Amino acid sequence: ALMVANERDRPLADLKARWQRTVDEFLARLDGADFHRRVTWVAGELSVRTLVTTRLAETWIHTGDVADGLGIELQPTDRLEHVARLAWRTLPYAFSRAGRELSGPVAFDLRGPTGTEWRFMPDQPPRTTIGGDGAELCLVAARRVDPGQTSLTGDGPDAAAVLELVRTYA
């Protein structure tokens, strides 16, 4: 609240300039970064690549929150594939946070906004497959839409639990 109060009377141009500087500095630091290096984050260690993807997901989620508040409808793009892949890759983490276990590998067989196929397959044959609209899956993983309000489908022993527990954040 104090930060908001301190920023309230600043000119919008100053805020935009500071945001742009911050983005430029962040991108400059990423140039040449070792994306496989492990770093400590909120809930443990993760690769720089995964950390950057989580920040992308958070930016998308909160951009949507702001747009909703302003009555602006954002159109999903195929770049959401990164968010969907993050949700798939972090399923074991989501289950462990909930004190539950997957009974076997999970596949995502999704469709992007332009009709592209997003298939995330485990090394072994999947026991559970989640299918449908990739943007809807991203909204479910962001906890912005209840799975029952989507056209997502699930087949296999963990389908309901995957849709309940999938997430994009720690």
CATH number, domain of 147, equals: 3.30.1050.10
| 3 pLDDT tier (thresholds 50, 70, 90) | confident
pLDDT over 90 at 61, yes or no: yes
- Residue-wise pLDDT for 68-108, tens only, equals 999 999 999 999 999 999 999 999 999 999 999 999 999 99
List of long-range contacts for 51-54, beta carbons under 8 Å, 24+ apart = 53/82, 53/83, 53/85, 53/86, 54/86, 54/168, 54/169, 54/170
Q: What is the DSSP letter of 147?
A: G
Question: How much of the chain is in helix, strand and coil states, percent to nearest 5?
Answer: 50, 15, 35
Per-residue model confidence (pLDDT) at position 135: 98
Q: What is the DSSP letter of 157?
A: T
Pairing of strands 44-47, 38-41: antiparallel
Per-residue model confidence (pLDDT) at position 2: 81
Domain assignment present for residue 120? The answer is: yes
Domain assignment present for residue 82? The answer is: yes
- Residue-wise pLDDT for 5-19, tens only, equals 888 888 989 989 998
Report the chain's terminal Cα–Cα distance, integer Å.
Answer: 23
Domain assignment present for residue 154? The answer is: yes
53-68 CB burial, b ≥16 within 10 A, e <16: bbebbeebbeebeeee
Per-residue model confidence (pLDDT) at position 152: 99
pLDDT over 80 at 133, yes or no: yes
Can you read off the two tokens belonging to residue 74? 């954002």
Residue 113 lies in domain:
78-165
Domain assignment present for residue 96? The answer is: yes
- Residue-wise pLDDT for 106-128, tens only, equals 999 999 999 999 999 999 999 99
Domain count, the chain: 1
pLDDT over 80 at 4, yes or no: no
Per-residue model confidence (pLDDT) at position 136: 98
